[in-house]
Amino acid sequence: MTGAGTPIPVMIDVDGLDALIAALAAEGREVLGPVRRDGALVFEPIGAAGELPRGWVDEQSGGHYRLKKEGTAFFGATNGPQGIKRILHTPHQRLWRTEGSGDATEIIPEPLDDTRRAVIGARACDLAAMAVQDRVLMEGTYGDPHYAARRGSLFVVAVNCTRAADTCFCASMNTGPKATAGYDIALTELEGGRFLAVSGSDAGAAMLSGLPSAPASAAEEAQAEEAIEGARDQQRRIDTDGLPQILKTRPDHPRWSEVASRCLNCANCTMVCPTCFCTTVEEVSSLEGPETERVARWASCFTVDFSHIHGGAVRAGAKSRYRQWLTHKLGTWVDQFGELGCVGCGRCISWCPVGIDITEEAAALRREEG
Amino acid sequence: MQAIDSHTDPMVPVIAKVTRVTRDLSDVVTFEMEAEGWRGFAPGQFNMLSVFGVGEIPISISGPQSDSSKIIHTIRDVGPVSHALASLRTGAVLGLRGPYGTPWPVEAAKGRDVVVVAGGLGLAPVRPILYELMENRGDYGKVTLLYGARSPGDILFAEELRQWRSRLDMGVEVTVDRADPSWHGHVGVVTAHLRGADFDPKATTAFICGPEIMMRFTANGLVDLGVAPGDIHLSMERNMQCGIGLCGHCQLGPHFVCKDGPVFDWAVIKPLMRVKEL
């Protein structure tokens, strides 16, 4: 938060939302928002509020995700499979390429992405995840300049959740449902296509001041808080108290074998997780000449190759691979980065084909006997 | 030690040129390279080496720290990238990033006895320690090198081992798992020679590099003789795609082997090595 004092909330309507999208585009930004595609919400370029999934909500549970018609809200549906990670830490990133061969070989670094983007509809859990990835990819001795370039120019319009999916557990992770940091503007949707908007940065305040808006009344502020409060009522939770130490000291807990017997090692959880940052580098050679390029792509600790060293994989068994993922998220991440690596978005539950539930596994591992 | 930073992206290598190749064993070569901007390394650190069109792997530096004019690596041909590296001829160009990783705490061993235990190709990552000890021999107490190889034909740096053995200020024992008729030396595991080595356990720093099982037995053997776990240092190996803590592959419990290691002390690593497939 920059600027003086607490930002004053204002009300904007659908025209205001359209004006916001237009103003962001007029700044030369690619504006991304949630749209329906192939039966799920994905972040794609949008040009008007009319492209938002108005009147759709999501239905999520273990191994289950559906969109269905319900109500008239623009932002009624919570998280789709991919959060904003996909925009910043792209699944595929060229790092460099070569030109020439032999003594004339030249290494050409991949230029940084200079597209300025704005994302509309980022949720509190995804902003918490973005902060987690900032620490991993920008705040260490070495960083990822491609991530930093996209991150630095991103304008974030957060949307506070006013309903929770059955898989959500952000409340117990203290990351949501209200966005508290990482946004330029935060919206809370009220009935009738009205949005309570607050700025979270100077850029956000400047943007808001240029939009058609009205001061928010005390009643509207109260309505917004009440709506967010409704999303706090969540079915799932993780008791994180002392959990990192418990997980790290129970590598032989019988539950690891039990969950491994259900886990398909498909890597879906890692592909939808908004904090998972692992990458593998690949060499892509030209068929036409000696040129080659190095590409980083998302990797998953659920694959056998992930831990391969000569002689074989370190984590050859499904049990050890599931244990690595969960212990990292809810345990060793704290040693590495000073915080948990889970934000409670619940995606790994919905997108697990066999419905393995991280909240249930964490609770079972907390019990001595599984 | 600063890594080469001619690019803002630490994943972008610089060009290095092979200036000399020596075949050590049928499947092991040592090569020297030059690279603009190379500012030296500390013993125990590694570089990420790229063969264009093939890939990139971490390789520890096996040359002397005191000579920063060249970069020396010893490579066993075990996979696609190491095969390509082992096939490079003088004049070939490759990609170089580094040096990365925590070094062996050699300086901290000054005034103390030093025990170096290596198995197989593990002699390469500890060779910079031995160079340092030899170059500043007066700064250290008794020095012991115990080296184990699979067979007489697998003994790495055989000529240097002979030179070190002939020194009066250093104890060197070489053992093989399987002897042949030409072999008149020790047969068996390297840990069998810990007890006979001349060092004061209370004032000894140990450096171990080799297969994990060999390092585990050696560290436990040293502890049994009275060496403090915090004075026993070993170098771990894991899959590495970046070498700088960003790719996630090398995690070992709470540690990134690439940046928190590869050198760890036994007090830290023992509880982690106890867990299968961690």
**Interface check A17 vs B, CB under 8 A:** no
pLDDT confidence bin for A290, thresholds 50/70/90: confident
* pLDDT for res B3: 45
State the Cα angle at A19 between A16 and A20, rounded to 5°: 90
Which of B10, B93, B244 faces A103 most closely, judged by CB atoms? B93
> Chain B residues with CB inside 8 Å of A137's CB?
246
| First-residue to last-residue Cα distance in chain B | 30
Q: How many angstroms separate the CA atoms of A151 and A149, rounded?
A: 5
SS3 category, A208: helix
Asked if residues A325 and A338 have their Cβ atoms less than 8 Å apart, the reply is no
Nearest to B237 among A110, A137, A309 (CB): A309
Question: How far A259 CA lies from chain B's nearest CA (Å)?
Answer: 16
Query: What are the domain boundaries of chain B?
Result: 14-100, 107-273
- pLDDT averaged per 10 residues in sequence order, chain B, 278 residues: 56 97 97 95 98 96 96 96 96 97 97 98 98 97 97 96 95 96 94 94 98 97 98 97 97 98 97 93
Put simply, the answer to whether A299 touches B79 (Cβ < 8 Å) is: no
Q: Is the pLDDT of residue A367 over 60?
A: yes
pLDDT of residue A47: 97
- Going through A219-266 in order, the beta strands assigned E by DSSP cover none
pLDDT of amino acid B7 = 46
The complex scores an ipTM of: 0.94
Tell if the CB–CB gap between B13 and A107 is shorter than 8 Å: yes
- How much of chain A, in percent, has pLDDT values that exceed 70? 98
B11 with A277: Cβ contact below 8 A: no
What dotted CATH number matches B107-273? Answer: 3.40.50.80
Out of B12, B52, B254, name the one closest to residue A336 (CB).
Answer: B254
State the pLDDT confidence band at A69, using cuts at 50, 70 and 90.
very high
Query: How many angstroms separate the Cα of B115 from the Cα of each of A101, B131, B132, B142?
Result: 45, 14, 14, 8
Give chain B's contact residues with A (Cβ, < 8 Å): 7-15, 17, 50, 52-56, 78-79, 82, 91, 93, 95, 237-239, 241-242, 244-249, 251, 253-254, 256, 259, 275-278
Calculate mean pLDDT across residues A134-150.
95
* Residue A306 touches chain B, beta carbons under 8 Å: yes
CB contact under 8 A, B278 and A251: yes
Report which of residues B153 and A311 the model is more confident about. Answer: B153
Residues present in chain A in total: 370
pTM, rounded to two decimals: 0.95
Q: B10, A280: Cβ pair inside 8 Å?
A: no
pLDDT the model gives residue A5:
59
Q: Does A137 touch chain B (CB under 8 A)?
A: yes
Chain segment A235-270, per-residue pLDDT in tens: 999 999 999 999 999 999 999 999 999 999 999 999
Residue B47 CA to residue B14 CA, distance in Å, equals 11
pLDDT for residue A368 = 77
Buried b (16+ CB within 10 A) or exposed e, A20-29: bbebbbeeeb
State whether A314 and B238 contact (CB < 8 Å).
Answer: yes
Interchain contact, B52 vs A105, CB within 8 Å: yes
Contact B50 A294 (CB under 8 A): yes
Distance from CA of A266 to the nearest CA of B (A): 17
Mean pLDDT of A48-71: 97
Using a CB–CB cutoff of 8 Å, tell me whether A146 touches chain B: yes
A245 lies within 8 A of chain B by CB: no
How far does A299 lie from chain B, in Å, by closest CA?
Answer: 8
- Name every residue whose Cβ is closer than 8 Å to that of residue A253 and which is 6 or more positions away in sequence: A365, A370
Q: Find chain B residues with C-beta within 8 A of A309's C-beta.
A: 237-239
Residue B215, judged by CB atoms within 10 A of its CB (0-12, 13-18, 19+), counts as buried
Q: Could you give the angle at the alpha carbon of A246 between the alpha carbons of A243 and A252, nearest 5°?
A: 135
pLDDT band per the 50, 70, 90 thresholds, residue A105: very high
At A29 the three-state DSSP class reads strand
* Residue contact A307–B238, C-beta within 8 A: yes
B278·A320 Cβ contact <8 A: yes
CATH of domain B14-100: 2.40.30.10
Distance (Å, whole) CA B63 – CA B198: 27
Among all residues of chain A, which has the CA nearest to that of B80? A310
Measured CA to CA, the distance from residue B262 to residue B57 in angstroms comes to 14
Given an 8 Å threshold on Cβ–Cβ distance, is B249 in contact with A307? Answer: yes
